[in-house]
Amino acid sequence: MNTKRELIFIERDAFYEYKRLKKNEGYTIESVGYYLFNISDDTIFKEFDYTTQIVDISGLASGYKEVQLIDEQVIGKFHDYETIFIADKRHEEILRYELRYCFEDFKNDDFTIAKLERKEHIVTKHKKITDLDENELATFIQDFRKRLYGHEKFKDDFTKLVKNFRVFNKLGEHKILSLFLMGESGVGKTEVARTLYECFGGQKKLAKVNFGNYSSEFSLSSLIGSARGYIGSDDGEIFIRVRDTDIGVILIDEFEKSNITLFNYFLDVLENGKIVSSLADEIDLNGFIIVFTSNISKENFTNKISPELRSRFDYKGLFTLLYNKDKRKFVEFRVKSIINKFNIEFENKLDENLYKYFISEINVAKYNNMRDLNKKIKRVFVEYVSRSHDVDNENKNTFSFLKKLVKSIK
């Protein structure tokens, strides 16, 4: 049992491991801000349970000049000596000094100690286009071309672009490969980033930020964090996404929906090859591909986006509608994948050649948005299954049948 009050410092990089461990032990981590704000409400301190709650006091580091006495008071209000207090290691100096009378001991947590010993620095390793050897690159490009239907000109350009990028990146002349893709809905703009991720063999999640959610004045702080707060939570979405992915590809969707502040932020990112948080944390994006997508028209592109930023993009492309032959490829691929999933779920197996029937049933010329085409495929499939004699020994109205069916067409 603790008889002296101690403060534990944690490095940002170690925090994720620390949090996971504590969560398994049944703890939640609370920011001190809430207690500071409600300092005169004794009930919240009485309700505080040191066996399941940890207090993160990083937030105190930023408010010193104004509220020192309150900071000391708030710590004192946690009566139990076993209460665990933690703080961001970057505030160590200020907190050690200012809270020298509140805590009898200051130390680092075990993960932080391990990191410091290994002198390990920031972020998981991302697999990047610049890491591939020539053979791997050839396979990568081939795979990419096969998985993204149509847009042949784009795929040619992209191939050249990547080859150039790898050379100049090696020379230290070109840090990030940026693509700006415009065009109508459902023709595969976002799919470019998803496909890149898959071709790299990503095992986690594509780093995706949707700027549709970023039109307000607070957008920059949601994206890159705000200066106050606590260790993990003031990170900013882009940092979380990049940290959580294993591949050096970032998707910025619906780019035009954001505002000038974010445009300028990205101008910096492309210029300097790194993202910098509000707390001056950095993640190096050297070798990354960033795909920006937008429904903007060509005219609005020049009106809305500054010439500096426009000239920063390595590729600006307008995605046109897909040709019917590409849409048929899409139908074939979707149907085969649905049939595979169906055959896993159900006893009665469907023949893969069924895709020919679908192509004959669906007039692809009527669809320009692949999302709509996909819906049509699902509809035709469900109709087929409900009529079909191949599947007639299942009771087609039972809940379990429908559940399995829905799973197949997902």
Ligand X SMILES: Nc1ncnc2c1ncn2[C@@H]1O[C@H](COP(=O)(O)OP(=O)(O)O)[C@@H](O)[C@H]1O
Site residues for ligand X per CB under 6 A: 148-151, 185-191, 293, 322, 330, 370-371
Nearer to Mg ion, 190 or 245 (CB): 190
* β-pair type (274-276, 282-284): antiparallel
Give the single-character DSSP code of 352: T
* β-pair type (28-31, 53-56): parallel
Nearer to ligand X, 188 or 287 (CB): 188
In which element (H, E) is residue 106 found?
Answer: strand 105-108
Q: Which residue has the tokens 């081939």?
A: 142
* β-pair type (53-56, 177-183): unpaired
- Partner touching 249 among Mg ion, ligand X, none, CB below 5 to 8 Å by kind: none
- Partner touching 187 among Mg ion, ligand X, none, CB below 5 to 8 Å by kind: ligand X
- Partner touching 71 among Mg ion, ligand X, none, CB below 5 to 8 Å by kind: none
| Cα angle 379, 293, 222; round to 5 | 105
Q: Give the residues across from 180 on adjacent strands.
A: 292, 316
Q: Token digits for 297? A: 């028209």
Instruction: Please report how close the Cβ of residue 210 comes to Mg ion at its closest, in angstroms.
Output: 9
Q: Total residues at the site for Mg ion (CB under 5 A)? A: 1
Site string for Mg ion, 173-192 (x = CB under 5 A): -----------------x--
Instruction: Please report how close the Cβ of residue 186 comes to Mg ion at its closest, in angstroms.
Output: 8
- Partner touching 262 among Mg ion, ligand X, none, CB below 5 to 8 Å by kind: none
Nearer to ligand X, 29 or 181 (CB): 181
- Partner touching 188 among Mg ion, ligand X, none, CB below 5 to 8 Å by kind: ligand X
CA-CA distance, 71 to 232, in Å (whole number)?
21
Nearer to ligand X, 185 or 324 (CB): 185
Give the single-character DSSP code of 353: T
Instruction: Please report how close the Cβ of residue 368 comes to ligand X at its closest, in angstroms.
Output: 10
CA-CA distance, 331 to 329, in Å (whole number)?
5
Amino acid at 302: T
Nearer to ligand X, 76 or 212 (CB): 212
Residues that bind Mg ion (CB under 5 A): 190
